[in-house]
Amino acid sequence: MSIDKLKKGNVKFTKTFVENKQLYLDLVENGQHPKVMWVGCSDSRVVPEFIVNANAGDLFVIRNIANIIPPFDAHDSNSSSVLEYAVEHLHVEHIVICGHTGCGGINAMLKGIPQDSVINDWMQHAGKAKENAEKQCCGDLEINTIKANVLLQADHLLSFGYVKKRVKENRLKIHKWLYEMSNGSILFFNETDEKWRAL
């Protein structure tokens, strides 16, 4: 997509803006009150609002390589500040960690990333997912690692005291999802039987 196309896109958006003016004005005048924080991948093919048909104001989103939330002791101020704002100030009731098939970050980690790459530093926060996937007796290593990474990032969320406290008090629920790029569907991790099932 060219910059010219982006400019034309904004002109088109301003026309649809008028059609949805009340929604946008409410968000301006009353602020945002999303109930869901979405932790997703930066992959340009996986747009959260598109795949769940969400409106402006519905999702509080953080996207990065391989949908990662570094643990509390990693002291990553970017992701930690987004998480803190979502939970402590916006009082979201749900956090969705959504991985996706064909994840470039996971694939790069499996193939090997140069040690001097900042991407390698970032993917260290998913390293345990690779280890966990390699222990599985069956299935494809790539998809198993993508799934294991979603579960790992959920564990990372619980390393933050304020998240763990709200989960324990049933004021916050963590959802583990996997988006299938080939057909647009989503699988979720069922805590009861520990299996991935269709939404």
Residue 137 region, left (φ>0) first, then alpha (ψ -120 to 50), else beta? alpha
* Active-site annotation holder among 4, 26, 33, 41: 41
User: Model confidence over 120-132: pLDDT tens digits?
Assistant: 999 999 999 999 9
Query: Quick check: is 98 catalytic?
Result: no
pLDDT score for 18: 86
Could you list the beta-strand ranges (E) of 58-153: 59-64, 94-100
* Active-site annotation holder among 33, 73, 91, 103: 103
- On whether the CB atoms of residues 34 and 90 are closer than 8 A, the answer is yes
Over residues 38-67, mean pLDDT? 97
- On whether the CB atoms of residues 92 and 157 are closer than 8 A, the answer is no
Q: Is the pLDDT reported for residue 95 higher than 90?
A: yes
Which helix H or strand E contains 27, and what residues bound it?
helix 21-30
pLDDT score for 43: 97
User: Model confidence over 29-45: pLDDT tens digits?
Assistant: 999 999 999 999 999 99
Query: Quick check: is 116 catalytic?
Result: no
How many CB atoms lie under 10 A from the CB of residue 175?
A: 19
pLDDT score for 16: 86
Q: What is the residue type of 108?
A: A
Query: Quick check: is 63 catalytic?
Result: no
Query: Quick check: is 171 catalytic?
Result: no
User: Model confidence over 169-183: pLDDT tens digits?
Assistant: 999 999 999 999 999
Q: Is the pLDDT reported for residue 1 higher than 80?
A: no
pLDDT score for 60: 98
pLDDT band at 138 (very low <50, low <70, confident <90, very high): confident
All structural domains of the chain, each given as residue ranges with its CATH number in brackets, are 1-30 (no CATH), 32-198 (3.40.1050.10)
d(C-alpha 165, C-alpha 127), whole Å: 26
* Active-site annotation holder among 76, 98, 100, 166: 100
Query: Quick check: is 41 catalytic?
Result: yes
Q: Is the pLDDT reported for residue 139 higher than 90?
A: no
pLDDT score for 48: 97
Q: Is the pLDDT reported for residue 193 higher than 90?
A: yes
Please indicate whether residue 33 or residue 21 has the higher confidence score (pLDDT): 33
* Active-site annotation holder among 4, 26, 33, 43: 43
* Active-site annotation holder among 33, 45, 91, 171: 45
